[in-house]
Amino acid sequence: MVTLRLSGQQDRYGAADLLRLFFGGPVQELGDRLVCAGPDLELTCSIEPDEKSVWVQTRLGARVVSARAPAGKARRESRRQLYQILAGATGQHFPWGSLTGIRPTLIAAECLAGGRDRETALRLLVDDWFVSPEKADLALETAQAEHRVLETVPPDSLLVYIGIPFCPTRCSYCSFITREAPSRAALLEPYLAALCDEIRGFFCRITQPAAALYLGGGTPTTLTPDQLARLLDAVRTSVPLTADAELTVEAGRPDTIDEARLEVLRTAGVNRLCINPQTFQDRTLARIGRRHSVAQMVEAWQLARAMGFDHLNLDLIAGLPGETPTDLADSLGQALELQPDSLTLHALAIKRSSALHEALVCSAAAGPAELPDWAAAVAAARRSLASAGLAPYYLYRQKQTVGALENTGFARPGKACRYNVAMMSDQRSVIGLGSGAMTKLVRGSRVERIPNPRSLDAYLERAGALAGRKADAWLANGSGETFSLSSG
């Protein structure tokens, strides 16, 4: 049993994340202690305020790390010490070291601040945060790219996310609220009507233009061509867009793509299309519950290209069930033959609400299996992508990913996705429309989050009211014409 006693103003979430990273499994909070299964270890972390700074100390038996830190950096210092002690005690190291947050590029940007050169910033990440040199380099390259992309999104513009929480089938690793469309076909029409009400209800009161709109889900192309046309018509007639707005549609499943739907998207001005096979191995597609083949993926891709879509994105996932690093390298090779304009490489996240989590929990009795070296596989993928002319432009991390790895978007020059970067930055407001969508209103350095209900019934009942609530929240900031957006 691992017991960590915390005193002072500690970051309990960060400490619990580190315990999960090293020992897996759930972490319990018992008063001032965090407890999880593992070897018998008793640790203490304390933060003691001083006059202008704090004294941070972490102890495991005779191992002690301590340092003085500015009050605002005490929690970080405590996390750093805890990582250092746990790595020493267990002999384990992780690619992102003591960085447990979802946006390591924020820390990379801090390391670059004040005109530091890349070499100095890299040393800071490696020496102070225990990040591997490869990830430190990735974080720095991506942080610089994110900065460049964000500059192309006007500070007074907003982002719009529209969600269609339906898919043809449910992938085994899916943790979203998505429903299987065939068994819920009767819900598609009422959902579409509610969504159009919400879109119109919000934008009849708000005139700020959107610099990027993302139609995601789920799989929006599970809608029929006629339904898709009606939805995009509501967007066209309601949502003010900047002159060069980016319009992305996630056509995630190749088996939902046909000429009629692509024609609707093209006519509506969609200028970025995502076709996401996740793997180019037919046996894996069947294993994860998808009902399309690699051949269908290639066919959909070629059709979209032939119809003039000049920004096609695809997603791959490292660590899918039953796959090896060789499968990933092969899938990436096949993907690159299609000459994608951008490609996002995810690390599989095994969330509690997924069917895959259930299956893994049930098979845990068989004992831990030896895991492939996904970190090396993902690093090799980055090199292949660089050789093909795709550079990292945004990056985020999730919990419980294979190898504690990250998700990275790569793109050819000029093809980075603005929405991805600006949404992740928390420096531009996002209006989320549809069941489960999240609205983020940026107020200076503060972000107000307004979630839409995940329950379809609740959403169908309240879509109109939700639009009003969001518009009120937006306008409550001031005149509504001078909504304050932070650029720093």
CA–CA dist 153, 169 (Å, integer): 35
170 binds ligand SF4 (CB under 6 A): yes
Q: Which of residues 198-227 bind ligand SF4 (CB under 6 A)?
A: 217-219
What phi and psi, each to the nearest 5 degrees, are found at residue 67? -165, 155
Category of 173 on φ-ψ map: left (φ > 0), alpha (ψ -120 to 50) or beta: alpha
Q: Which is nearer to ligand SF4, 166 or 203 (CB)?
A: 166
Q: Is residue 409 within the footprint of ligand SF4 (CB under 6 A)?
A: no
**Closer residue to ligand SF4 (CB): 355 or 450:** 355
Q: Considering only 147-155, 171-179, 206-214, 440-448, which stretch makes contact with ligand SF4 by CB under 6 A?
A: 171-179
Query: Does the protein bind ligand SF4 through residue 178 (CB under 6 A)?
Result: yes
Nearer to ligand SF4, 34 or 274 (CB): 274
Does an H or E element contain 167, and which?
Answer: strand 166-167
- Asked if 172 interacts with ligand SF4 (CB under 6 A), we say no
List strand residue ranges (DSSP E) for 275-352, in order. Answer: 312-318, 342-347
Q: If we measure between CA atoms, which residue out of 382, 381, 252, 255 comes closest to residue 315?
A: 252
Residues facing residue 432 across a β-bridge: 161
Q: Is 10 in the site for ligand SF4 (CB under 6 A)?
A: no
Nearest-approach distance from CB 226 to ligand SF4, in angstroms: 22
Based on the shown chain and the rule CB under 6 A, indicate whether residue 163 belongs to the binding site for ligand SF4: no
CB 214 → ligand SF4: shortest distance, Å?
A: 14
**SS3 label, residue 337:** helix
Q: Of 176, 202, 214, 393, which lies in the binding site for ligand SF4, with binding defined by CB under 6 A?
A: 176
Applying CB under 6 A, does 284 fall inside the site for ligand SF4? Answer: no
Do 49 and 68 form a contact (C-beta atoms < 8 A)?
no
Q: Which of 171, 194, 241, 328 binds ligand SF4 (CB under 6 A)?
A: 171
Q: Which is nearer to ligand SF4, 217 or 434 (CB)?
A: 217
| Contact predicate 290/254, CB 8 Å | no
Size of the site for ligand SF4 (CB under 6 A): 11
For the bound state, the minimum distance from the C-beta of residue 218 to ligand SF4, rounded and expressed in Å, comes to 5
Question: Do residues 433 and 215 make contact, with C-beta atoms less than 8 angstroms apart?
Answer: no
Burial class from Cβ neighbours inside 10 Å (0-12, 13-18, 19+) for residue 391 reads middle
Instruction: Kindly state whether residue 319 participates in binding ligand SF4, applying the rule CB under 6 A.
Output: no
Contact between 161 and ligand SF4 by CB under 6 A: the answer reads no
Q: Which of 174, 206, 347, 375 binds ligand SF4 (CB under 6 A)?
A: 174
In the complex, minimum distance from the CB of residue 251 to ligand SF4, in angstroms, rounded to a whole number: 10
Does the protein bind ligand SF4 through residue 462 (CB under 6 A)?
no
Residue 238: strand, helix, or coil: helix
Whole-angstrom CA distances from 117 to 141, 338, 400 are: 12, 36, 33
Binding mask 226-265 toward ligand SF4 (x if CB under 6 A, else -) reads: --------------------------xx------------
Spatial distance between the Cα atoms of 63 and 94, rounded to a whole number of angstroms: 20
Q: Whole-number minimum distance, CB 161 to ligand SF4, in Å?
A: 14
Residue 443 burial (C-beta neighbours within 10 Å; 0-12, 13-18, 19+): middle
Residue numbers at the binding site for ligand SF4 (CB under 6 A):
167, 170-171, 174, 176, 178, 217-219, 252-253
